[in-house]
Amino acid sequence: MHEFEIKKMIRLAAEAKEKAYAPYSDFRVGACLKTVSGAYYLGCNIENAAFTPTNCAERTAMFKAVSDGERDFEAIAITSDGVNLIAPCGVCRQVLAEFCPADMPVICSDREGNYEVHELRTLIPMAFTDADLKDK
């Protein structure tokens, strides 16, 4: 991916982070999911007093896109309030694996905009997918 596009997606993820609802962890996360058609879907984490219903930023972006009829994705960028690069949690990796190609770039950034790009397949090797359901 071109560096200009990576930085644009990190900036959009940072804008999404501003909308985070994170009164319990005080840890805001933002995601920017790009479709093959060139649309950007933004998501933030949405926490809950009961804790377990909390939705991560990545899944918020993904569910917004899928519920709009999008099925083809090109890249995702994630950023947070943290000093460390943020990578998707295990649940979000599984959700990404449902819809995104194994070679899709996952842009992991920190609050300063430093980043690394990892292929989805390296974050969730041997993902359980629809193909596994067919082979029985």
Binding mask 79-98 for ligand THU (x = CB under 6 A): -------x-xx--x------
Nearer to ligand THU, 6 or 79 (CB): 79
- Minimum CB separation from ligand THU for residue 34, in Å? 17
Q: Which of 9, 14, 42, 45 binds ligand THU (CB under 6 A)?
A: 45
Task: Give me the catalytic one of 5, 58, 98, 116.
Answer: 58
DSSP one-letter string for 50-94: TSTT-B-HHHHHHHHHHHTT---EEEEEEEESSSSPP---HHHHH
Q: Are strands 115-119 and 73-80 parallel, antiparallel or unpaired?
A: unpaired
- Minimum CB separation from ligand THU for residue 4, in Å? 25
Q: Which amino acid is at 52?
A: T
| CA dist list (Å): 45 to 9, 19, 21, 85, 126 | 17, 8, 6, 16, 27
Residues forming the site for ligand THU (CB under 6 A):
22, 25, 27, 29, 45, 47, 54, 56-58, 86, 88-89, 92
